[in-house]
Each structure stands twice: as structure tokens, then as C-alpha cells.
Structure 1
Amino acid sequence: MGVAAIIGGGVIGGGWAARFLLNGWDVRVFDPDPEARRKIGEVLGNARRSLPGLSDVALPPEGALSFHDSLSAAVQGADWIQESVPERLELKRKVYQTLQEHCDPGAILGSSTSGFKPGELQGCATRPGQIVVTHPFNPVYLMPLVELVPTDRNPPEVVARAREILTGLGMFPLLVRKEIDAHIADRFLEAVWREALWLVKDGVATTEEIDEAIRMGFGIRWAQMGLFDTYRVAGGEAGMKHFMAQFGPALEWPWTRLTDVPEFTEDLVDLIAGQSDAQSGHMSIREMERIRDDNLVSMMRALKAQDWASGAVLNAHDARLSAEAGMVRRAADIADPAQPVVTGRRTVPVDWLDYNGHMTEFRYLHAFADASDRMMEIIGCDRDYIATGGSYFTAETHIRHIDEARLGAPIEMRTRVLKGEGKKMHLWHEMYSGDRLLATAEHVLIHVSLATRRPSPPGDEIAANLKMLSDAQAGLPAPDGVGRYVGQPR
């Protein structure tokens, strides 16, 4: 981890602060706004509620947050400096001149600018090679995309290090190969926004109807497949060429008004604002942010299950977090095999909740099943082994629900091997949140041949590891509740 300086603590700067902080970086903030502490505190509250829910492993310990009265104090010793001041070129250049007098020459200076090209920002800089555009998307603490825009004045090692750091934050740095106003993504957004203004102005649709057209239709497709792959699929078996032949002529038809700009009058502003207020004015901005965050987490978690698009980015980040946290991967790595093995650490995400506001029943089984999978991996029944034709099937499970697990609660799985002889593996899992025991699970798994789908002896390495763990843990007291049947009094 490292130290990040955040220059400008508005919506975007606050999101950057949360992204760095919750990924273990120390964060220093400079913002002359007297409300900066409150604003960033509220952004952090939302981030702490939602960001951990994207991961199926625990995030690193949160870094230290500090606020500074001077820009020089904030940037001193920082490894990364993220500028998110208002979109005025002269202001940004002035900020760069000041901070480069005090920052480490090896620090990366990223700009959140949505419109300026990096060459414009580097113009008056003492060390132009230090400055790159790193344009994120709101909310920065959840959205993976960040447009990384360098120039020829940036050494390749600076660009490579920027990509490495952003990837380490769980983001997807999209390297923009050419400088262009508004980069890539905002150019699409501006085109859609311009057409939407015309549709409202001409009375074709309201703001709510336009939003429904996006979120009920192409918005869902774009979220998982983008633009070109969506249209490739639309072309059927003939693919993109067929799609282009079928719909290409429509480019010459006057379907849209993308090259025209509606006159930005008070009447148009009032019309748009009035419809927007009618659409969602019954909710506060904080309420809308929480709804947005919950929806984003749920959608991206669904994509994790497919290891696709943003879900693939999150899975890769989980793997890095697990490795950095030193989670046991093999039996030989267990420091004390005579004690229960930690087989999982994570927080409770929003899509694991039920109508009572705590973790729903089947997610307890999900968490315990993940712990069984981790134990299988530890003893040697990993993907490579399973590919040879052997695995474990669960034969019996008994879960006891002892205490509540609510949104954002950190949970840890601890696993014992009660028996590991022949074809049978008998596991005991306990789920804790801090010192609170939340649930227990007793699992019996049988080794099978995937060719015959019948019980079969495990490989020698697996058998040896199971015996080592069961023998080492045999001296522990019998777990409270082992062998219970449903409804048995405690």
C-alpha cells in the first residue's frame, strides 16, 4: 500500500479518497471548503456500506485519513496525487505548479478531468512527465472504469506504474491511445445526453420515459456486453457484417439530432428540472445514492458469477486481496494444524439480505459451502485435481443459526476436520463476526469419481493431508452442537 493525496474533496475527490482508503492506503486530503470533512465523511459512509460487498474476501485494513490546511503538507511524501479541482484549466495548472514544488518527483499525479487533454495540463508543469489523466466514473469507489490518458512526455514506466496501482485498487484502467477532448466514455454520454434533451424539448418523451428506455432496455445489455458485441449478437449467425448491412443505411436517415444542439434556455432548464423533480424528487440525494450503490453492487456481483465484464475485474481483485492477506492455500502453509483453519473472510453484501434486514438462510449455506471449497483446495482437491476426474460431493449438511449477520458485517469462517478417513470428509465450520459466534455447520462430504459419479478413494496427497489435519485437531474439545439433529434441545 502507499500514501495518496486527494486535492479537492467534492463528489469525485471524495470517491477517490474512499477507493484508496478502503483498499488500505493512507489518504491525505486538501480542500479549502469548510464542509469538506462532512462531505467526505458522508461519501465514506456510503463506500463503507457498499464497497466491501463487491468482494468475496476481506478488504485490507482501512488506511488512515487526515485533512490538511495546506497543499504542501498534503502532498509531501505521497506516492499518488489525485487532482479533482473544478474544471478550469488555469486553476489546474496553478495547482500543478504549486504541488510540484513540494511533492516527490517520483509520485504520480493523476487528474480526474473529464474534458481536458493531458497535454493541456502538462503545458506549464515543471515535470510534465509526472502528470497523466486518470478520469474515473461516479461513484469512484464502486465503478471500475478509469480512463488513463498519457502523452509522449510520460515515460513508459510512469504509465505502467499508474496501471499497476489502479489495478491494485480494483479498478479497470482503460489506456486511451490518443489525446482527444472528453476522452472516450464521456463522448458517448454527451451524444446520448444531447439527443435526450431534444426528445424532452420536442415533447416526444419525459425524463422518466427516457430513463425507463435505458434501464429497461439497452442499459442492461451495455452493462455486460458493451456496444459492438451487442450489435454483433444482433446480427445473428452472420455476425457484424450482416448487422452493418441491415442497419448501416439508417445512418443516413434523420433519426437523431446529434449534430444539433438545442438552445439552452431557461424554459428548457425549467422543463427538464420540473420533470426530474416529479420523477424522483420524493427522495433525498443520499437515499438515491444508496439505491444506486445497492443496485450497482447487486448487478456487478451477478457478473462475478459469470466471470464477465466488471465481474471479471472484481474476481481478479479478490484473488489479489486473498494473496496479499496471506490466506492459506495449501496444507503445508498452515502455521498450527492443531487449531481450526481460517477458510474465509468477507463482509455481508446487500444481495445477501432478506426482508428482515439480515443475512438470508441460503447465504449461510453459501458461505459454509465456500469454506468447504477452500478446505478442499487446501488438502489438494483443487481445479487441477478435479480436472483429473476426482472431487467431493456433499452428502449431508446441518446448519445452526445462532446470531444475526447484517449488512456490512465482517464474517470469518473457521474450519475443523473431524474425520478424514477413506472416502469420507467430515467438516465442522463456525462463522464469527469478531467474537460473536453467528452460526455453525456440520458437513459430510464423499469423494467421488466424476467418470462414474460413484464414491471412490481420494488421491494419496489428499488422504495424507486429511489425516494430518484430523490427527492434529483430535485433541480439541468436541464442538458444541456436533451430531445434533433438527429440533434437538440445546
Structure 2
Amino acid sequence: MTTNRKAAIIGGGVIGGGWAARFLLSGWDVAVYDPDPEAPRKVGEVLANARAALPALADVPMPAEGRLTFADSVHDAVEGAEYIQESVSERLDLKHRVYAQIQQSAPDALLGSSTSGFKPSELQQNAANPAAIFVAHPFNPVYLLPLAEVVPSPKNDPEAIEKAKEILREIGMFPLHVRKEIDAHIADRFLEAVWREALWLVKDGIATTEEIDEAIRMGFGLRWGQMGLFETYRVAGGEAGMKHFMAQFGPCLQWPWTKLTDVPEFNDELVDLIAGQSDAQSGHHSIRELERIRDRNLIGFLRVLKERNWGAGKVLLDHDERRRMGNIAHPTGSGAPMVLSHQQVLPGWIDYNGHMTESRYLFASSETCDAFLRHIGAGMDYVAGGHSYYTAESHILHAGEAKLGDRLTGSVQVLGADEKRLHLFIRIEREGMLVASVEQMLLHVDMKAGKSCPAASEVLARLMPIAEAHQALPRPETAGRHVGQRKS
């Protein structure tokens, strides 16, 4: 029996709950400690949102969800934890007290802080083991956004930081290694400058909170989401690139446009002005509704980036590939139907009836068939050489239903094979029960010539012994069925 790795989350607010969800849905066991009696409810609500959102970004099965516990003490939470994430309030004295309690029980465990402002050297002050403490600053929602700013100090062991970064990659995050300590790290420094300008625009009556948000989401925010700042400006420089952009727009930085170094007086009048406009803008939605709207929009945006292997989408593709390698099935032997794929019904596979949609049954079959072709040496390297197996005919029989979250296995039985043809019977099963079968006839082709030809000798050397062994297997009852044929 495999024991899951354990993460401890200290502080169960929005950020701590997001961390808990990210680890849980990545297959880790998670222990949360928060003295707030409402913590289980709050974490549970974040986890519910994450369960609806994070799997929608994946195209391979999610691991089995880990076990969530709420500990009665810091000691109970961190005991046996491989990774600890602190997400308590932004008070340095509180963080120091929490670190002292953590390191009484787990002095050498990796200890990341979600702090948005403190430097690691400040967090490490008077710690029993300062080398274990570093910054791992995420962005909300933690379960969807991949960025985590990893900030070490000179006291940190580089190997330990690399281990922490690898753990973050394993749960689908993008660890951005900040090369020097700085207050508020990188992203929040940038956001604070934009926030300061926005407050001035509202205070001076130039724009409302809604108008400022529209300026961001209808314009440069869309560019930033997929190209960032400098790459966006490089494109703006045209064929001459960044040097031309700097020459053209650099002088305006000296003009008195911004109030970047000036801060509006933070008083009740400003607070009421901002809060009132924000209520008028979004007050008709509850916070949970806004979170769900945000998550659905982020999923759509991130999936577009994923389709193009760009920006945050590249992180998602890389994470899928990690999990895909972990899900590769090992054939059970040539003398039995060969189990070749493990898959999971994901949110994007569901139709309006709540069942797996038609195309995904064929997708599950295709994944299984591709695994078999790889097994006999006719994978992508073989295709790159100009030869492939093409599907000439298919018949699908729906024998059951698959619903969201169901785990499926795909197996192959070779009904017949010669040097040009391959006749397969593929079973898609859920917990040993048949969901669908797909019977396929494939032809081996010379892709350049556009016609069938004998398969390579090394492929036939792997295929034919399996075909011969499978001749001894009982022929599936539904093999050779035609559409509409009644069941016997």
C-alpha cells in the first residue's frame, strides 16, 4: 500500500485553503492547523471551488485526492510533513512564534511562507533552523494560478531550495526563483505601483473603479496575460524591436504623467469613495459567486494558452506530461488482453446529460490504440520516418455510462494481423465493468506514397507473437457486430 506524501498548511484562510486544495488534488495528504473554529468551513468552500476548477485544466487523469485532516496543534500538523507552508497573517512577530512552534517538531522540514512583503532574512531571525525557511509567495487562487515566487536568503541551502522548487513543479506550479531579497518580491512591487496610480485616478475624479478595471481587462491586461510587459513592448517597437521602443517612449518617463512616488492620503474619505464605487460595480454578486466567475474565466483563458503551448499554458502542458508519464500502463503480457491505458473522466469530457460525451469514448479508445502502437514500435518516431497505421474502419458499442471523475482502463485484444492489416478489439472499462468497446481495422501505410505497404520487420517481430498468442483467447461476443444488430 502506497503512503501519500504529506504537506502541512499552517493558516487556513483563502491562501492557506488554496495551498491545501492544490496539494490535495495533486495526491498529497494535507494537515491544516488554524485555531479559527470556522477554518474547516472556509477551507471546505475553497476546496469545493478547486474540485470544480483545477481538473478542467488537465488532459490526463488527476491523481487520487489525498486525505485532509484538521490538526489540533501545530505539532500534530507538521509531524511527518515533507513540506510545510505558512499562511498566517502578515505580522512578523506572529510568524516568528509560529516558526518556533513548527521547528520544535520539524526543525529540518522545508518551510515556505506565503508572505507578500517580508524578506526571508526577516522571517529567519532567531529561528532554530533559519536554513529551512524561505518565501514561497503564491497568487490567488492558488489552486489555479501557477506562479509561486521562491525567495531564499544567503542562509538557505541551494539544494533544499531546488527540492522545494521541484515539489512546487510536481503540484503544477511555476516556481520563479527571485535572485535577490527585496521587500514585496517582484510581482507585488509591480502591482503596488499600478494600485497607487489607480487610487490617484479615483481620488482625483478621473475614473471610477469600474472604468479602471475596464481599461485593464479590455486592453493591456489581455496582452499582459500572455506576453507580460517587456515582450508586449518589444512587439510595440515593431521590426526595430525593443531599442526602437525605448528610443521612442523612453523620454516620456521624465514627463510628469505619473504619481509613482507620491501616495494619496489614506483616510476615511478615500476608503469610502473606493468601497462605495466597488459596491456599485460588483455588489450584486456574492464573493463566492465572484470566485466561481473568476475561476471559469481563468480556465478558459488558461486552456487557450495551453492549446498554444504559451505562457502559463506551457506550465499546464508540462504538468500534464509529468502525470502522463506516471500513468503509463504496463502491458500484462501477450497471452491476455493487454491493459495499456489509465484515464479519468475530466470536466471537459462531459455532455449536457452529465455523461462522458461521444467523442471522448473514441478519444479513450485512441489513447489505448496509440499505447499499443508504441508498444510494438510504431510510435511517433516511426511516424517521423514516414510510416504509420491508419484507421480504416471503426465500430463502437456503448455498454455503460461514464461520469465525471470515473477512472477508466483501456485494453487491447488483437483479433488478427498480417504484414499490412491490424484488427483490434479495444475495451474501455470502469472498475471491471465494460463501458464501451471499439473494434478497429488499421492499415499500414507509406505516408509519402499515400498507399498501404508492409510494416517494418521490427514492428512485425513485436506484433505477430502477440497476435498469435491472442488467437487462443475467447473471441469477444460483440466482435463483428453491425450497427443496429440486436443483442442475443
Q: TM-score, normalised by structure 2?
A: 0.90
Q: 1:417 Cα shift?
A: 3.2
Q: Is the 8 A contact 2:10 2:87 kept in 1?
A: yes
Choose which of 130, 133, 148 in structure 2 pairs with 1:131. Answer: 133
Q: Distance in 1 between the 2:215 and 2:410 partners?
A: 43
The alignment status of 1:394 with 2:394, answered yes or no, reads: no
The alignment status of 1:13 with 2:13, answered yes or no, reads: no
The alignment status of 1:42 with 2:45, answered yes or no, reads: yes
Q: 1:377 Cα shift?
A: 2.0
Unpaired segments of 5 or more residues in structure 2? none
- The 3 A distance-change label for structure 1 pair 150 and 243 is same
Q: Distance in 2 between the 1:267 and 1:418 partners?
A: 79
- The 3 A distance-change label for structure 1 pair 482 and 117 is same
The alignment status of 1:362 with 2:347, answered yes or no, reads: no
Q: Distance in 1 between the 2:436 and 2:261 partners?
A: 60
Give the residue type in structure 1 aligned to 2:384. A
SS in 1 for 2:105: coil
Q: Distance in 2 between the 1:215 and 1:343 partners?
A: 45
Q: Distance in 2 between the 1:295 and 1:411 partners?
A: 29
In the other structure, the counterpart of 2:371 is 374
Q: 1:390 Cα shift?
A: 1.6
SS in 2 for 1:260: coil
In the other structure, the counterpart of 1:265 is 267
- The 3 A distance-change label for structure 1 pair 127 and 392 is same
Q: Distance in 2 between the 1:480 and 1:261 partners?
A: 78
- The 3 A distance-change label for structure 1 pair 484 and 79 is same
Choose which of 72, 86, 93 in structure 2 pairs with 1:69. Answer: 72
Choose which of 287, 311, 314 in structure 1 pairs with 2:313. Answer: 311
Q: Is the 8 A contact 1:430 1:439 kept in 2?
A: yes
Percent of aligned pairs sharing the same letter: 60
Following superposition of structure 1 onto structure 2, how do residues 118-267 of structure 1 map, counting pairs within 5 Å?
118-267=120-269
Q: 1:14 Cα shift?
A: 1.2
- The 3 A distance-change label for structure 1 pair 415 and 124 is same
Give the residue type in structure 1 aligned to 2:452. P
Q: Is the 8 A contact 2:61 2:346 kept in 1?
A: no
Q: 1:7 Cα shift?
A: 0.7
- The 3 A distance-change label for structure 1 pair 215 and 445 is farther
In the other structure, the counterpart of 1:291 is 293
The alignment status of 1:92 with 2:92, answered yes or no, reads: no
In the other structure, the counterpart of 2:421 is 424
In the other structure, the counterpart of 2:380 is 383
Give the residue type in structure 2 aligned to 1:51. L
Choose which of 276, 279, 291 in structure 2 pairs with 1:277. Answer: 279
Unpaired segments of 5 or more residues in structure 1? none
- The 3 A distance-change label for structure 1 pair 448 and 131 is same
User: Which 10-residue stretch deviates more, 196-205 or 25-34?
Assistant: 196-205
Q: Is the 8 A contact 1:149 1:177 kept in 2?
A: yes
Following superposition of structure 1 onto structure 2, how do residues 44-59 of structure 1 map, counting pairs within 5 Å?
44-59=47-62
RMSD: 2.6
User: Which 10-residue stretch deviates more, 92-101 or 415-424?
Assistant: 415-424
Q: 1:84 Cα shift?
A: 0.6
Deviations 1:229-273 (CA, angstroms, capped at 9, x unpaired): 222223232222222223223323344433332333334333333
Deviations 1:3-53 (CA, angstroms, capped at 9, x unpaired): 211111111111111222222222111110101111112222222222233
Deviations 1:168-227 (CA, angstroms, capped at 9, x unpaired): 222111110000111111122222222233333344443333333333333333222222
Q: How many residues of Structure 1 are paired with residues of Structure 2 in the alignment?
A: 484
SS in 2 for 1:101: helix
- The 3 A distance-change label for structure 1 pair 428 and 134 is same
Q: Is the 8 A contact 2:343 2:364 kept in 1?
A: no
Q: 1:353 Cα shift?
A: 4.0
Q: Is the 8 A contact 1:26 1:65 kept in 2?
A: yes
Q: 1:432 Cα shift?
A: 3.6
Q: Distance in 2 between the 1:351 and 1:206 partners?
A: 37
Give the residue type in structure 1 aligned to 2:162. A
Q: Distance in 1 between the 2:335 and 2:219 partners?
A: 55
Q: Is the 8 A contact 1:414 1:430 kept in 2?
A: yes
Give the residue type in structure 1 aligned to 2:214. E
Q: Distance in 1 between the 2:263 and 2:305 partners?
A: 37
Q: Distance in 2 between the 1:27 and 1:213 partners?
A: 40
The alignment status of 1:341 with 2:338, answered yes or no, reads: yes
